[in-house]
Structure 1
C-alpha cells in the first residue's frame, strides 16, 4: 500500500517529542483503577512504537487517603511502577504528573537515582505558578527532566497569562504546555496561544507543548495547529482515552507525523485489543454534555455528573443550566 503524502510537511522534525498520557489522563475516568495488564499493554505499545515518553500516573499526596477510593496510579509509588515495567531497560522515558497543591513533592519524589521515573510534569493554575516554580526546581535538583502544564488557560486574561509566562520562561522547566483543560479552544485561538507561548519560551531556551481535550472534536485539529507553529512536546492518548471527552488520539498523531521513528502498528493493536474494550465501562469521548461544557468553557465535572445519572437526563435542561 502506498504511503499517503498529504502531511509530509510535518515529517522528520527531530525536535518533536511524543508523550502518551493514556494511563494518567484516562485514570480520571476510573479513579485510577487500571489493572496491571492494561498499564503493561500501553507500556509495551509505547516501547514498540518508539514513543518518547509514557506518563504512568500522578504522584499525589497519600495523606488522609481513603483506602480503596483510588487505584495505585494516582500515587505511582516506585514499587507499583516497577511491578509493571521492571527497571525499564528501554528507550522509552517514564513520566509522572505532580499537581501543585496536591503533591508532597519534597518527601514523595525521591532523587532520580532512586527512581525509574525520568520526567516530572508539574501541573498548575496561573495563581499557583510560584509554587510550581519551587516544584520544578526541586525536581530538577533531584536529577529529573521537568515540564510544566499551565492549566485552564481559556479562563485567564492576557495580562495574567503573560505574567505567568514571564515567570516560567527562566524556570527549570524544559517545556511549557498549552493546556486546553475544558476542550474549549478553536484552532485560531490555539494559534494565538502557541505563538504567545513561543515568544516567552524561546527567549528562555524552552520548548512549547500542547495538551488538547476533545469536547468540540477539535483536539486533533488543535494539535496539528500547535505542531505547525513549532510546538514540539505533543500529548496524546490511545483511542483518545482521557477525562471526559478525551484527548488527541495517539493513532491519529502518529499517522500524521509519519516519522520513521514512530511505528503505528503497535498502537493500533493496543487500541483494538486493550483500550476499546474499556469504552463501555469508562464512557469517555465526545457527546452532547461534554460538547456543552466545551462550548461554554466550563470544567467537565457537570457533564461527568450528568452522564453518571442512572437514567438519561434532559439535555435541554442541561443546556439551560449554563
Structure 2
C-alpha cells in the first residue's frame, strides 16, 4: 500500500489560518530541511492570490523570490493553491507566469457549486505546464449540488488529482468508501483525500481512502490546520513505519514536530467539544474557530449557537425591549479587569456618595463585590454571563438589578437564568458602531446611551497590563479600543476611567479624587 500513494504536507498553507500566513523564516527553513529527509512527496507552501483587503502574510501571496529561495532548499515538489472564488482565468498570467519552473503543482480550492467554473480555470493552469489538483470542499454534502455529478466527467484530462475534502471533519470510513465509488463512477482522475480531525477520524479515514484507491493524502505537522486541524504527518508516517515498514528518519521527523511546538502552545489547535459538534452535524468551522480562538465564549454558548445553526433558527428567544422609564445622567460601567476588585472599597464609597448613579456590569466577573449596593444595577448578558451570574448570586436572594441582552437575533443564542427571567430585556438596536455588536463593551455602552447618560465612568478596563498577553487578550483589547473610538466619534458623552488604563482613548480621572 505504501508504494501506491503519495503524501502532500500542507502545514504552511493550512496552518496559516492560525498565523495569518506569517511564519518565522527559521521555522520554515527547519521545516524544509526536515521534510527533505522524510518520505513526503509534495509541500504546499501556501496560496497565490491577487491583492485582497486587509493584511494577509507572506505565505498567502508567496512572492516569487520567496518561492525561489524555498525551491533552492527543497528536494520536494512544491505546491501553491488558488482560491477559486477569488481567481479567474484572466488572473492566471499574473499569478502563475512568475513561478513557472519553481512550483510543480497548482491546486484549486473549490466550492462544489462552482466545479464547472473551476474546470475552465484548471484548463488555463494545465496549459501553463503545471500539475493540477482539485480540492473540492464539503464532500459530505456533494449530493446536494444538482450540477456536481454532471460536471465530474469534464475533470478527466484537466486535473491530475481530484481531492475529496472533509471540510466539516465529520465523515466516517463508510462515507469515504461511498464517496470514492461515486466519484469513480463519473471520472477516471486520480483521487486524493484531505481529512479534518473534528471527530479524530482523520487517520482512519485517510487509511481507508488509500485502501480503496485514493492515490494522494494530505497531512500537516502536529495536525496544524483550520479549526480542529488535520491528519498529523508524524502520526501517518509512524503508522506507515510500524504497519508497512516504511523507512522513516525519526530524528528528522522529531525536528519537524519540535519546530512547531511553540505555535501549538500559542494557538492550541486541535479538536474540542464545539468542533466535535460542528463536525458531527456538518456545520462550518469558521465561526467555531473564531469563537474558540479569539473570543471568551463558553462551550455552552458555542454549542447553543451551533444548535441554532443546525436547526436553522436565528435565535431561541425574543425578550421585551429595554425602554427605561427614567433617565440616568451618571453611569458607572464595571468590566472584568483586576482594578474593579482591587479598588472595590473605593468604588463602593464612590457609588454610595452618588446614589442616582446607575451601575452597568459589562461583565459579571467582579459583580460579587458590588452585590449589596443600593444603586440601580444592570447586567449585560452575552455568551456565558448568565451562567456566571448564577455562580455569583447563588439563589439570587441578593439580586436587585435587571439584565439586558443584545438585539434579536443573537448569534450565540440566548441563555437567561430562570430566577431573573422576568427582569430581563433586549436592546432595540446597537447603533453607535457597526462592528463587534455582540461584545460586552458594545452592549454596556449602548445601554448607557439608552439611559440618557451624560457622563460615563468606567473601571475594570485595564488593557491587560501584565505582559506578555495571549492572542485572545490582544484581540479583545483591539476590539475594545475600536469600540471606544466609535463611541467617541458618534457620541458627545465622555468616557472617564477611574484608574490608570492602557486604553489611551479613555480620559483618566482618579477615583480617589472624587471621594470626600
TM-score class, shorter-chain normalisation, is 0.7 to 0.9
Structure 2 residue aligned with 1:230: 213
Moved more, 147-156 or 259-268: 259-268
Within 5 Å, which residues of 2 pair with 1:233-272?
233-258=216-241, 260=246, 263-271=249-257
- Shift in CA distance, 252/199, structure 1 to aligned 2, threshold 3 Å: farther
Pairing 1:131–2:112 present? no
SS where residue 162 of structure 1 aligns?
Answer: helix
- 2:37 maps to which of 48, 53, 56: 48
SS at match of 1:167: coil
1-structure distance, mates of 2:223, 2:295: 25
Q: Does residue 70 in structure 1 map to residue 59 in structure 2?
A: no
Counterpart CA distance in 1 for 2:180 and 2:112 is 16
Alpha-carbon distance change, 252 to 89 in structure 1, aligned in 2, over 3 angstroms: closer
Q: CA RMSD in A?
A: 2.0
Match of 2:302 in 1: 318
Distance 1:237 1:260, change over 3 A: same
**Aligned-pair distance for 1:210?**
0.3
| Structure 1 position 38, deviation (Å) | 1.9
Do the aligned residues in 1 keep the contact of 2:227 with 2:270 (CA within 8 Å)?
A: yes
Give runs of aligned pairs for residues 208-227 of structure 1, distance below 5 A. 208-227=191-210
Q: Secondary structure at the match of 1:215?
A: coil
Partner of 1:302: 287
Q: Deviations over 1:248-278 (max 9, x none)?
A: 011121123336465444222210x211221
- Name the counterpart of 1:278: 263
Q: Decide which of 140, 158, 167 is 1:181's aligned counterpart.
A: 167
Unaligned runs of 5+ in 2: 308-516
The Cα shift of 1:198 comes to: 2.8
| TM-score normalized with structure 2 length | 0.55
The TM-score with structure 1 as length reference comes to 0.86
Structure 1: which 5+ residue stretches go unaligned? 1-9
Q: How far, CA to CA, are the matches of 1:307 and 1:265 in structure 2?
A: 33
Q: Is the 8 A contact 2:224 2:269 kept in 1?
A: yes
Change (3 A) 1:38 1:198: farther
CA gap of 1:132–1:32, structure 2 versus 1, over 3 A, is: same
Residues 1:191 and 2:180 are matched in the alignment:
no
Question: Does the 8 A contact of 2:177 with 2:208 survive in 1?
Answer: yes
Contact 1:33 1:73 in 2 (8 A): yes
Matched residue, 1:4: none
Alignment deviations for residues 51-103 of structure 1 (CA, whole Å, 9 cap, x no partner): 110000001212x443xx211100111112223x253562x100000111223
Pair 1:314–1:192, CA change in 2 (3 A): same
Superposition deviation, residue 133 in structure 1: 1.1
Q: What do residues 228-250 of structure 1 show as CA deviations (whole Å, max 9, x unaligned)?
A: 11101110011111111000011
Cα distance in 2, alignment partners of residues 36 and 134 from structure 1: 36
Pairwise CA distance, 1:171: 4.0
Taking the aligned partners of 1:276 and 1:304, their CA distance within structure 2 comes to 20
1:207 Cα deviation after fit = 0.8
CA contact (8 A) 2:6 2:216 kept: yes
CA contact (8 A) 1:214 1:245 kept: yes
Q: Does the alignment pair 1:34 with 2:23?
A: yes
Higher-Rg structure is 2
Distance 1:310 1:260, change over 3 A: closer
